[in-house]
Amino acid sequence: MKMMGVDLGIHKVAVFCLDEPYALAHQASKDDPRDAQLHQLAGVVHDTALFQSPDGVWIEDVLVGNNRKYSLQLAEVKGAVLSALAPLRARGMDIRVINVQGWKRGLLGSGHASKDEVRDYIDVTHGAYAPVCGDDQDLYDAACIALYGQRIMDRIKDFSLLDSTDELST
């Protein structure tokens, strides 16, 4: 199953595809009007998903914190990306949103894992992805989001393969 992870920023998106490791970090021009930035960022995610044809796209959700302006700008990017991906959902692509604490807890055992712990997880557990991420922490996050999505989808697939006799015997 081919998964794509997306880490959002207010002026940047980081995209990581697992199957044949592919990573892209795109920075929108801060000089452009906000609507043009959102269109550009959403287009990058849409075009990457269209080109890579993943079975699923997992997007990090907005964490509302003390900086409300930042949270609102992230929510704008999330909305633009989800809107751009809607035609691909209509074609059968699975698109999901996961909060940062969820994927960190699911992969690293702690919802409050540090950036170093995220980087170490990829470096140690999935070393082939580290060179693809380079020095970009957002790409490390996107890779982990994709890995989390793959883990969840594998569990769903395994669960759905159980037939009624297997369920009764446990």
pLDDT of 63 = 84
For 112-146, how does the pLDDT look when each residue is reduced to its tens digit (9 = 90+)? 999 999 999 999 999 999 999 999 999 999 999 99
Q: Is the pLDDT of residue 21 over 70?
A: yes
Residue recorded with tokens 């592919």? 22
Go through the domains of the chain in sequence order and give each one's CATH number: 3-169 (3.30.420.10)
Judged by average pLDDT, the poorest of 8-12, 53-57, 151-155 is 151-155
pTM recorded for the entire structure: 0.91
Angstrom distance (rounded) from CA 121 to CA 145? 12
| C-alpha distances out from residue 110 to 4, 65, 101, 126, 156, Å | 22, 19, 8, 18, 22
pLDDT at residue number 166: 55
Instruction: Kindly give the pairing relationship between strand 3-8 and strand 56-60.
Output: parallel
Residue with tokens 């759905």: 160
Whole-number pLDDT of residue 160: 63
Q: Which residues contact 45 (CB under 8 A, 6 or more apart)?
A: 6, 13, 15, 57, 81, 84, 85
Mean pLDDT of the chain: 92
> Which structure tokens are listed for 50?
């269209």
Q: 38 by DSSP, 3-state: which?
A: helix
Q: What is the pLDDT of residue 158?
A: 72
| Percent above pLDDT 90 for the chain | 85
Query: Quick one: pLDDT band at residue 164, thresholds 50, 70, 90?
Result: very low
Read off the pLDDT of residues 30-69 as tens digits, 9 standing for 90 and up: 999 999 999 999 999 999 999 999 999 999 999 887 789 9
